[in-house]
C-alpha cells in the first residue's frame, strides 16, 4: 500500500495531532512575521501546511511499519502462489493499533502482486508488509519424521509446524500439527489430538532443515537470564523478525538466539530445557519419547508431566 493510501486511512487518527502541530507553527510564524506583507504571510502559511503534512505522513508511515527491520524483504513468490500472510494487518492499521505490539496470525492465501516492501494478497484483496509473508514453494516432498511448515487445512488456515507421521505419498504426507496443544486424556483431548494424522494436499508445505535459519524455524531468544521461545517469520542479514508468545512481534539478532534442532537426539531420562508457557525452563526430565507422533513427555519443574512437540524440548541451551 502506498503512503498516500495510508495517509487517507489514517486521516481521522492523525487530524488531532496535525491540527495541534499546525496551530503551533502558525502561531510561531505569525509572531516571527509581525507586519510582513500579505504575500509573505501566504508563503509562510504554505510552508507551515507542507511541514505539517510531512510530519503527519512520517507518523503514518511509522505507524504502518514500526519495526526496526529492513523494509525491502525479497519474496520468492509469484502470482497465484500460496503464501501465509498476516490477514488482519490492514484492519488493525485502520483501527490505529500499535502494530509493534500486536500479535497477528499468518493465514493461508494466494499472492496477487509482489512488491519490494509491501505485497498484495488475494484473501480480502489487501496489502501486507513483506516481512509478514511466508511463501510456500510448489512441488515439495517430505519423509517420515520431517518437520514442515504448513497451515491448518481443517481449521482457520493458520500457520502451523507439523511432524510427518506417514510419507507413503511424499507429496501429500500425513502430519501431526505441532503448534497445537496435545493432551492424551480421552475426556479432554487437545486440538492436536483431534487433528492427528491430517493428510495434506500437494503444494501445501515445505521442510524445515536442521541447523538452517529459515521462516518457521524455532529459536530460543535470550532475554536477560531467560530463554524465550520464538518462531522465525523473516530474515534480513543478522536480524530476525519473530513471533513470540501469543504471536507478539519482535526483532532480534541471530547472535542473541539459539536455533532449536529439528530432530535432536533425545531419550528418556535426559535432563533438558522444556518450554513452559513462553520460556524454556531448565532442570526438566524426559519421561517418554514418542517418535511416531513427534511428541515428548517431560516432567516439568513443577513435577508434572507435559506432552510437548519435539522442538519445545532441547539440550542446546545448556
Domain membership of residue 141 (yes or no) is: no
Same domain, 278 and 248: no
Task: For residue range 76-132, list pLDDT tens digits in order.
Answer: 999 999 999 998 899 999 999 999 999 999 999 999 999 999 999 997 678 999 999
CB 174 within 8 A of CB 164: yes
Could you give the CA distance from residue 259 to residue 242 in angstroms, rounded to a whole number? Answer: 12
Distance CA 15, CA 20 (A): 9
Q: Mark residue 80 as left, alpha or beta (left: phi above 0; alpha: psi -120 to 50; beta: remaining).
A: left
CA distance 195 to 177: 7
Return d(Cα 4, Cα 296) in angstroms, integer: 51
3-state secondary structure of 195: coil
Q: Is residue 13 part of a domain?
A: yes
Q: Could you tell me if 97 and 58 lie in one domain?
A: no
With CA atoms as reference, report the closest residue to 149 among 137, 157, 159: 159
**E strand or H helix that includes residue 133:** strand 133-135
Residue 75, in any domain of the structure: no
Q: Which three cell numbers stand for residue 53?
A: 503534512
Residue 238: inside a domain: yes
Q: Are residues 8 and 58 in the same domain?
A: yes
In a domain, 77, yes or no: no
Report if residue 287 sits inside a domain: yes
pLDDT tens profile 208-266: 999 999 999 999 999 999 999 999 999 999 999 999 999 999 999 999 999 999 989 99
Across the range 287-310, mean pLDDT stands at 96
Structural domain count, the chain:
5
pLDDT at 51 over 60: no
- Is residue 195 within 8 Å of residue 183, measured between CB atoms? no
Same domain, 99 and 130: yes
Residues spanned by the domain of 29: 3-64
Residues 34 and 8 in one domain: yes
Amino acid at each position: 500500500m502506498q503512503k498516500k493510501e495510508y495517509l487517507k486511512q489514517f486521516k481521522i487518527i492523525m487530524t488531532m495531532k496535525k491540527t495541534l502541530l499546525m496551530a503551533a507553527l502558525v502561531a510561531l510564524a505569525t509572531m516571527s512575521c509581525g507586519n510582513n506583507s500579505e504575500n509573505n504571510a501566504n508563503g509562510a502559511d504554505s510552508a507551515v501546511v507542507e511541514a505539517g503534512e510531512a510530519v503527519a505522513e512520517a507518523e503514518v508511515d511509522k505507524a504502518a511499519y514500526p519495526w526496526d527491520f529492513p523494509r525491502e524483504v525479497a519474496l520468492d513468490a509469484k502470482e497465484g502462489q500460496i503464501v501465509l500472510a498476516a490477514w488482519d494487518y490492514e484492519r488493525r492499521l485502520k483501527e490505529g493499533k500499535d502494530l509493534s505490539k500486536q500479535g497477528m496470525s499468518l493465514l493461508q492465501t494466494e499472492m496477487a502482486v509482489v512488491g519490494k516492501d509491501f505485497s498484495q494478497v488475494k484473501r480480502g484483496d489487501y496489502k501486507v508488509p513483506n516481512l509478514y509473508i511466508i511463501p510456500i514453494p510448489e512441488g515439495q516432498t517430505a519423509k517420515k519424521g520431517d518437520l514442515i511448515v504448513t497451515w491448518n487445512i481443517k481449521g482457520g488456515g493458520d500457520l502451523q509446524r507439523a511432524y510427518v507421521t506417514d510419507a507413503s505419498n511424499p507429496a501429500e504426507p500425513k502430519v501431526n500439527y505441532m503448534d497445537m496443544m496435545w493432551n492424551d486424556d480421552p475426556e479432554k483431548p487437545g486440538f492436536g489430538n483431534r487433528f492427528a494424522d491430517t493428510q495434506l494436499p500437494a503444494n501445501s508445505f515445505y521442510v524445515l532443515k536442521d541447523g538452517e535459519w529459515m521462516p518457521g524455524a524455532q529459536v530460543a531468544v535470550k532475554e536477560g537470564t531467560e530463554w524465550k521461545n520464538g518462531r522465525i517469520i523473516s530474515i534480513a542479514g543478522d536480524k530476525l523478525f519473530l513471533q513470540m508468545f501469543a504471536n507478539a512481534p519482535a526483532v532480534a539478532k541471530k547472535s542473541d538466539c539459539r536455533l532449536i534442532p529439528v530432530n535432536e537426539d533425545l531419550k528418556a531420562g535426559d535432563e533438558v530445557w522444556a518450554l513452559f508457557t513462553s520460556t524454556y525452563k531448565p532442570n526438566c526430565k524426559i519421561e517418554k519419547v514418542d517418535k511416531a507422533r513427534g511428541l515428548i513427555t517431560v516432567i516439568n519443574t513443577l513435577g508434572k508431566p507435559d506432552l510437548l512437540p519435539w522442538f519445545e524440548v532441547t539440550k542446546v541451551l545448556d
